[in-house]
Structure formats: C-alpha cells, structure tokens
Chain A
Amino acid sequence: MSKSRLSGVARLPHYRPDPAGTHPPLLSPDYASTQLRAPLKAPVDLPQRLTEVTGPVLGDGLVRPGDADLTRGYAEEPAGQRIIVSGRLLDSDGRTIPHNLVEIWQANAAGRYRHDRDNWPAPLDPNFDGMGRTLTDAEGRYSFTTVKPGAYPWRNHHNAWRPAHIHFSLFGRSFTQRLVTQMYFPDDPLFGQDPIFNSVPESARQRMIANLSLADTRPDWALAFRFDIVLRGSVATPLESEG
C-alpha cells in the first residue's frame, strides 16, 4: 500500500554527514549549560529512510508581509545602526534552496532581548521586537532589514559577554538538513572570550561571520552584510527495494 507511493521515485536522496570539525561538540564544558544538557551516550546511527529525507514545506501563514523588515511595524524606527543582512541558502554542493523558511531573532541595539527572562539593565526599545521571517526566493536568496544588535552580558563566567549576533533557523529540504546557528559580525573583539563561538572547531568559525558588503549597501541609508548559509549536501541513491 505505502509502497505504491514510492512508485515514480526513482531515487531517494541521501544526505552526506558534514565532515568532522564542522559542528561543535555537544559537551563543551566552557559553555557551562552544556554540562547537564549534553547527552553523554554515543548517538545511534539512524539510516536515512523516508521520514528523514522528507521534511516540512513551511511558509503559508507563517510569513506575513513586512516580516523581513524588523525596522517597521511600530510607530517609529528602532534605535541603532540600520543594516541589511542578506545572502543565499545553499547546500554544500552549491545548489540553492528556493522558497524555504528563514527565521531570525536578535537583541536590540542596546543588547537587550524583548523576553521575560532578559532583565539586565539595558533599555528595551518600544519600536523593536527582534523577530524576522522570510522565504528564500527562486534563487535561494533572502534579505532582512534590521538594526545591528548590541553585545550583552550573560552568567556563564565572570564578566562574560556575547559578541553581537543574530540567531538563524533553517529547514532546508529535509529533516536531515535542519540547522539553527548564529551569525556574527566581522572582527568582533569579543570572539576570544566567547565559549559559544569558540565551541566550533577553529577552521569552521569563519563560516559564522558575515562579510561587510559594500555592493549591497544602500547609499545614505544602510550598511549591508552578506551571510550565506550552507546546509548538508545530498546524493541520489537507488532505492534498495528496486534491486
């Protein structure tokens, strides 16, 4: 019964694992919260079957007009440096991923999140909620207009400060490609003391840092940063049941 649903699917994709040295280890003791939350048993290999190589098609009803411009929707513009953050959503083979949901959230220009549990003494901005959503276009491109987030203190260790960052959530084409990451800004002097940034193997850290893009800058309006996001690539494999 269910098998007939596969007729016409000559090949299922198989998503390659990212090479070692791409992602941070779950247990990264310098990031104190990992100590009681990182699973300690070795994970079990789950062969990719239909559930893993499919994934949600999201967008309808989730993205409203204006969601890609975080500087709009309130009485006035938010305080801070207006910026454009744009890029492409790709897989590691360079294939673009069109019509795919991109979610972001961030602190305001003072480094304060609009959240019950963020109560450090920096001002909230009545004109900024810090949430953005968009769909990539037919070429896999996205673009947000926002303000540059401020750095903020946290309680990980004495005098700990997070470098300025924007949280990104991506889905890709399949369950296997789900990724949540953070985008950083070039040359942030706070990188050296941040255990979250440094949890990533050194050779891959640069991929989390956006580039200033003069080409995308809108003169007399906004600086622009370019941040391409790369998800796992795939190869087509014959269905074993075909043979």
Chain B
Amino acid sequence: MTGLGSTPSQTVGPFLSIGMTWEGGEYVVPDGAPDAFWIHGRLLDGAGDAVPDGVIETWQADRSGAFGHALTPLGSAVENVENVGGFGGFGRSLTGPDGQYGVHTVKPGRVDDGHGGFQAPHLDVSVLARGLLHRVITRIYFADEVEGNAADPVLSALPDDHARSTLIAQLDGHGGYALDIWLQGVAETVFFTV
C-alpha cells in the first residue's frame, strides 16, 4: 500500500528566520483576548547555552477542547462547528539571542483521549533548530491543572515525576507560564515520537 518513500528531514540551519518569520506568529490569540497569557521560556543545549537559532511551534485546542482543523481522514470532511471565531491554534516563536521563546495564547480545554476519557490541557510542540536534523516533539502542560495532570494518560505513562516536570509549565507570577526546553543534559526535556 505504501508506494513512495518519504522525503528525509534536514536541519532548518542557522538562517531559518528568513523563511519562517511570520508577523504575529507568536500570537495564537490577539492582544487583549480574554484570559490570554504568555507561555515562555528558553531553549537550551547540553552545555546550558542558549539556542538562538531555533523555533518553537505550538498546536493546541481552543478553550472548549476543539481544534481549528477540518479533520479529513481519507477525504471525508468533518464539521468543526465550535471552531468559529478564527481560532487557529497554531503558534510559532523564533528563539531570541538568549534562547527565549514566547507564545501568546489561552489555555486549551480538556481533549478527548479516544478511550472515553480526557487528556489534561496541553500544547503539542515542535522544536526545530540549527543542529537538529529533524524536529523534536514535546508537550507543554500547566502546573495549576493538578487534577487533570494526575489523570492524564501521557503524563501518567512517564517513568517518574522528574520526567513529568520537564513538560509542566509553572506559573510565572505575571499571569503567564514558564517552561525551559532542554535539548540535552540532566534536565533534558522528555521528547516524543508520534
């Protein structure tokens, strides 16, 4: 059934900002949107140095747990009626000189887990950078979703609290959330294959 070999991945290289800069890319929701906040942090390498030539891309449901996506498995379109209002759900932040990223968004709702239960509010994250030959995938959860996080199937499947902590953004004291992403080292973030 497979006919074609997939195109191999290559690094974005150091000059990714030429092609990947979008005006307002960091804004999943506009300034002034109700309940909006910044989720931010630094992208760091195995020596603890900033990665200034990377990009963080986020993908998430809206407040009700719906996605801004017409799911089209094998061509059958499905109405996503709750996605009116222009919520795209996608954020892109190029890292700054100190490895800093930031995405302006709202907390997603719980998302169906496909087994009759729910996943805690989360963002799927792609990290691309010079020195990464393909993207790496992680998730961002929210520290103040204690109950939901405890019941989340993805967090629960991780070996220990240390691993879970690499995915959980902490309240930053300014109404937002903070999470550093470590590509390597003792604090290496949990990365996924999908």
Contacts and interface: CB of A to CB of B under 8 A. Distances in A.
Contact of B4 (A90, A132, A236): A90
Interface residues of A, number: 96
B89 interface: yes
B150 interface: no
Interface stretch (A37-45, A135-143, A216-224): A37-45
A158 interface: no
B112 A50 contact: yes
Interface stretch (B30-38, B119-127, B169-177): B119-127
B194 A15 contact: yes
A231 B18 CA distance: 23
Interface residues on B, range: 35 or more
Interface string A195-232: 01101110011011000000000000000000001111
Interface string B60-82: 11001111111111101011101
Contacts of B111: 2, 49-51
A45 to B, nearest CB: 6
B63 to A, nearest CB: 11
Contacts of A46: 137, 139, 154, 192-194
Interface string B90-113: 100000000000000000011111
Contact of B6 (A3, A18, A129, A169): A18
Given A22-B6, A93-B1, A207-B7, A129 B124 contact: no
A107 B47 CA distance: 30
Given A5-B65, A180-B10, A31 B194 contact: no
Contacts of B189: 39
B134 A40 contact: no
Nearest to A203: B5
Contacts of A52: 124, 194
Given A104-B19, A239-B114, A181 B192 contact: no
Given A12-B73, A34-B132, A49-B113, 17 more contacts: A22-B8, A24-B10, A24-B133, A26-B136, A37-B132, A50-B112, A51-B67, A52-B124, A57-B88, A93-B2, A104-B19, A113-B15, A115-B18, A178-B126, A180-B11, A200-B8, A241-B115
A-B interface, 4 closest residue pairs, ranked by CB to CB distance from nearest: A105-B19, A33-B131, A56-B90, A37-B131
